[in-house]
Structure 1
Amino acid sequence: MGRTRTYQWEDPAILAEAAGRMAGIDFLRELQAGRLPGPPINYSIDFALDEVEPGRAVFSLTPGEEHYNPIGSVHGGIFATLLDSAAGCAVQSMLPQGMAYTSLDLTVKFLRRITVETGTVRAIGTVVNKGRQTALAQAQLFDAKDRLLAHATSSCMLFPVPSAQR
């Protein structure tokens, strides 16, 4: 008998509009508090934004079988998604209203295997350097015993939000 999982999400245009009219930290705090709907990726992978402060964002995920690759452990793309989200949102938390970012690259180093037995993991993203046009962030993925599972760095391009979104 196959296993199933269902989920639903809200229109992502709601988030894009809100992001364009708020400072990054305010937008992320509204997401964290549930006053804005989560982005569709949060529901498909089932991870959450747990903490946000200027220059720092923390996401968590409890691994499930739905995250597995063919060799019986959590797929590296799940690691990368958590790390990319943590690093990117750390950058977003420092942006004023009217500014946005996009990731230019993501370099991930996988250090330990993750399975359902690993338990909840958390990705902690921090800004290393923020300039006018680019930012450098890093993120680290830890288990409940504070063992480092993966590490990533990300360069982000900063740009003005198109006026139609403000």
Structure 2
Amino acid sequence: MKADASLAKTYPQVYEMVEFHNKGKAPHWTDYVSKDLVLAEVTPGQVVWEMEVKESHCNQLGNLHGGCVATLIDICTSFVTLAHEGKSKWRSMGVSTDLSVSYFLGIPAGETIRIVCTANRIGKNLASIRSMIYNSNGQICYSGSHTKFNIDSRL
């Protein structure tokens, strides 16, 4: 993952989590996806990522693999919990309780995608987050919804 250090001033928790992901010593299966993510924007309740689709992200038809799309939505939407500025401030990204993905249009290797993740609602215990993945022409290709459970009291 890559993020501009200037984000550390406005959204320190988001920046620290990106740095935490980059410091992992043991290889993790999500590294094949997360290493190519670039944090493009962070605003209250929204996080935007970009990534160039590589052949290693694609299925046998040459398009972004469905499992890779689900992984991207899982990883990218989780950061929204740290960009929330409302009454309920989370210290961690929580754990997933539900993840739903819709596939509309394939994206081939070589294209840069934009992953826009927005909070529907973030409460004390649950967060509802939606995501839209756009191709380089601005077309919606995939969408997702992700529900997270806050585990801060267990840390």
RMSD: 2.5
Summarize the alignment of residues 124-135 of structure 1 with structure 2, pairs less than 5 Å apart. Answer: 124-135=116-127
- Output the amino acid matched with 1:107: S
**CA 1:43–1:115 in 2, change beyond 3 Å: closer, same or farther?**
same
CA distance in 1, matches of 2:75, 2:139: 20
Unaligned runs of 5+ in 2: 2-10
Work out whether 1:103 is the aligned partner of 2:96: yes
Unaligned runs of 5+ in 1: 1-8, 10-24
Preserved CA contact (<8 Å) 2:81 2:90: no
Describe the SS at the equivalent of 1:116.
coil
TM-score (norm 1): 0.70
Q: CA deviation at 1:66?
A: 1.0
Alignment match of 2:48 (pick from 58, 62, 67): 58
Runs of 4+ in 1 over 6 A off after TM superposition: none
Larger-gyration structure (1/2): 1
TM-score (norm 2): 0.75
CA distance in 2, matches of 1:77, 1:89: 19
User: 1:1-42: per-residue Cα shift (whole Å, max 9, x none)?
Assistant: xxxxxxxx9xxxxxxxxxxxxxxx42213456xx65526566
User: 1:67-126: per-residue Cα shift (whole Å, max 9, x none)?
Assistant: 121233221112112222222211232263645411111100011011125x10011101
Q: Identity, % of aligned pairs?
A: 21
**CA 1:63–1:88 in 2, change beyond 3 Å: closer, same or farther?**
same
- Output the amino acid matched with 2:97: L
